[in-house]
A and B are shown apart, each in its own frame.
Chain A
Amino acid sequence: MMLKIDNLTNEIDGKAILKGLSLSINAGEIHAIMGPNGAGKSTLAYTLGGRPGYDVTGGDVSFNGVNLFSLEPHERAAAGLFLGFQYPVEIPGVSNLQFLRESLNSQRKARGEEPLSGGEFIKLAKEKAGLLGLDMEMLKRPVNVGFSGGEKKRAEMVQMGILDPKLAILDETDSGLDIDALKIVGSGINAIMRKPEKAVLLITHYQRLLDYVKPDFVHVLAGGRIVKSGGPELALELEREGYAEVVAA
């Protein structure tokens, strides 16, 4: 099992958000978590990523057999976890290429691998940017500064392609995308992550991304817990009937 979340509870500023969340993900699977606003979707993503202030108060999470919470955020990344941000952060003065090369080489160092040379890195970056239709010129610019909403999300997917994680947790990657961008991002996720040794946890509010990235499992998160799980048909049911109906059922 790649990710096993067992009865996870947490607090932000003393307020309980996740209230006993359990979920298991195997390699080769794509899971979608859907749910109403305020259900704890983003909190789950940040808690797994180790964002400061997201205090775990109970439960266990193992990632490929390792206690996830024994690892610092950067160690989680080196272990193969990728967190796609709903609101990617702008970093003035640091170019995307510099940012990604330092990130990748930090990960490689942590895993005892040799760093990539400048040439090798540029070749990899070109390939992944091409996959997402992002101009290399964009990658020379500071991280996310002046990027449109769609460009930020595409840049996130280029980052994912370059870092090549085992598990991607994508928090509302579809928000702020028009239909064309959604198609590109969706096919990017499929090309990078739909592999027998990888897994994806898509966190989304809407069904539309799931037209492009077909999930194997769909879960409904409400009130800090998974209240219902099913196959892809559950997403359609949610779209049709609304969360209130499905959560109450």
Chain B
Amino acid sequence: MTTLTLPTRKAEEWRYSDLDALAAIWPTPAPTRIDVGAGETARHHLLQDAAEGAAAVHDYAISIADGARCDFHVLNIGGKFGRVTFTVTLGKGSHFELNGAIIGGGDQTLEIITAVTHAEPDATSGQTIRSILGQRATGSYLGSINVARDAQRTDAFQSFKAMLLDRTATANAKPELEIYADDVKCAHGATVGELDRQALFYMASRGMDPATAKTLLLKAFVAGVFDDVADEAVKDRLEAAAIAKLETLV
């Protein structure tokens, strides 16, 4: 991603991106490297809340050594174009866990792109992404899992759910599994839906105004994404930012 030529939409991983916004900050810096040593546990988070109109690209190259674990929490809500990518390589018996939320409105283009490589046997990975999109926003999740020939007993999953608040908003989801080992569990699921109208009427019938009712349903939709953030202060900050963003959309 350090090439000097601006990418085009022909490249799959840039297919839904806002390349005009990207041009303003191109070329982007080299990826942030995270190396988790054998047997260690690392916890990281990112709150992507760039200013309105700005472009922000955060690339992570994560290497998780044998028996190690890396937990990453990401909230992608800021800027005109906000892109967060993870290129992950898993060692023997290691684990990678990504929990993320994309919440966008206006003309925002927000995306999370992952490429997780199970290079060795017995590693596990989980990716849970929730996306809420209103107005003309576009939110994308492109997740690829690559299981090497020797990576037997790999156990990997991806779960993506998107909620569209307006008919003009767009959600893209693209799971991609490339498996060369034969003793592997890989699960992926993607759904795109709207707020439950029956629930909204039920809430209104109890006196809840529409904005409060929608906010409550949306909070419930993203609840869980930040549940296991170990640092309470970080957890509070991510949850507060998510709720504040939600409230601008209802």
Cβ contact within 8 Å between B202 and A91? yes
Cβ contact within 8 Å between A103 and B203? yes
In the complex, A100 has a CB within 8 A of chain B: yes
**When chains A and B are docked, how far (Å) is the Cα of A72 from the Cα of B210?**
10
**When chains A and B are docked, how far (Å) is the Cα of A103 from the Cα of B207?**
5
Count of interface residues, chain A, beta-carbon cutoff 8 Å:
32
**When chains A and B are docked, how far (Å) is the Cα of A107 from the Cα of B206?**
8
Cβ contact within 8 Å between B202 and A74? no
Cβ contact within 8 Å between B209 and A106? yes
Cβ contact within 8 Å between B209 and A98? no
In the complex, B223 has a CB within 8 A of chain A: yes
Cβ contact within 8 Å between B202 and A50? no
In the complex, A89 has a CB within 8 A of chain B: yes
Within 8 A of A (CB), among B69-118: none
Cβ contact within 8 Å between A103 and B208? yes
Total number of residue pairs linking A and B with CB closer than 8 Å: 79
In the complex, B204 has a CB within 8 A of chain A: yes
The segment out of B59-67, B131-139, B147-155, B213-221 that lies at the interface is B213-221
Q: A52-B197, A102-B212 are in contact. Are A91 and B220 (CB under 8 A)?
A: yes
Q: A52-B197, A89-B198, A106-B209 are in contact. Are A74 and B221 (CB under 8 A)?
A: no
Nearest CB of chain A from residue B197's CB, rounded to whole Å:
7
In the complex, A78 has a CB within 8 A of chain B: yes
Residues of chain A lying within 8 A (CB to CB) of residue B2: none
Nearest CB of chain A from residue B40's CB, rounded to whole Å:
34
Within 8 A of B (CB), among A91-108: 91-94, 98-100, 102-104, 106-107
In the complex, A167 has a CB within 8 A of chain B: no
Residues of chain B lying within 8 A (CB to CB) of residue A88: 202
Q: A91-B199, A91-B202 are in contact. Are A74 and B220 (CB under 8 A)?
A: no
Residues of chain A lying within 8 A (CB to CB) of residue B180: none
Cβ contact within 8 Å between B206 and A99? yes
Cβ contact within 8 Å between A104 and B221? no
Which of B205, B216, B224 contacts A49 (CB under 8 A)? B205
Within 8 A of B (CB), among A35-54: 49-52
**When chains A and B are docked, how far (Å) is the Cα of A73 from the Cα of B198?**
13
Chain B residue with minimal CB distance to A51?
A: B201
Cβ contact within 8 Å between B209 and A110? yes
Cβ contact within 8 Å between A50 and B207? no
Residues of chain B lying within 8 A (CB to CB) of residue A85: 202, 205
Q: A91-B217, A94-B217, A102-B212 are in contact. Are A50 and B204 (CB under 8 A)?
A: yes
In the complex, A203 has a CB within 8 A of chain B: no
Interface size bucket, B side? 20 to 34
Within 8 A of B (CB), among A66-81: 72-74, 76-78
Chain B residue with minimal CB distance to A78?
A: B207
Task: Name, among A73, A90, A159, the residue most crowded by chain B CB atoms within 10 Å (CB to CB).
Answer: A73
In the complex, A185 has a CB within 8 A of chain B: no
**When chains A and B are docked, how far (Å) is the Cα of A178 from the Cα of B202?**
25
Chain B residue with minimal CB distance to A142?
A: B220
Cβ contact within 8 Å between A52 and B206? no
Cβ contact within 8 Å between B199 and A98? no
Residues of chain B lying within 8 A (CB to CB) of residue A50: 204-205
**When chains A and B are docked, how far (Å) is the Cα of A83 from the Cα of B202?**
9
Cβ contact within 8 Å between B207 and A163? yes
Which of A89, A102, A104 contacts B202 (CB under 8 A)? A89
Cβ contact within 8 Å between A74 and B210? yes
Chain A residue with minimal CB distance to B201?
A: A51
Chain A residue with minimal CB distance to B198?
A: A89
Q: A52-B197, A89-B198 are in contact. Are A159 and B217 (CB under 8 A)?
A: no
Residues of chain A lying within 8 A (CB to CB) of residue B204: 50, 72-74, 77
**When chains A and B are docked, how far (Å) is the Cα of A93 from the Cα of B208?**
17
Nearest CB of chain B from residue A168's CB, rounded to whole Å:
12
**14 more CB-based (< 8 A) A-B contacts, given A73-B204, A74-B204, A91-B220:** A52-B197, A52-B201, A73-B201, A74-B205, A74-B208, A93-B224, A94-B217, A102-B216, A103-B207, A103-B208, A106-B209, A106-B212, A142-B220, A159-B206
Sampled A-B contacts (18; CB under 8 Å):
A49-B205, A51-B201, A73-B205, A74-B210, A74-B213, A76-B205, A77-B205, A83-B205, A91-B202, A92-B220, A93-B223, A94-B216, A100-B206, A102-B208, A106-B207, A142-B220, A159-B206, A163-B207
Closest 7 A/B residue pairs (Cβ): A93-B220, A77-B207, A107-B207, A103-B206, A73-B204, A89-B202, A74-B204
Please list the residues of chain A having a beta carbon within 8 angstroms of any beta carbon in chain B: 49-52, 72-74, 76-78, 82-83, 85, 88-94, 98-100, 102-104, 106-107, 110, 142, 159, 163
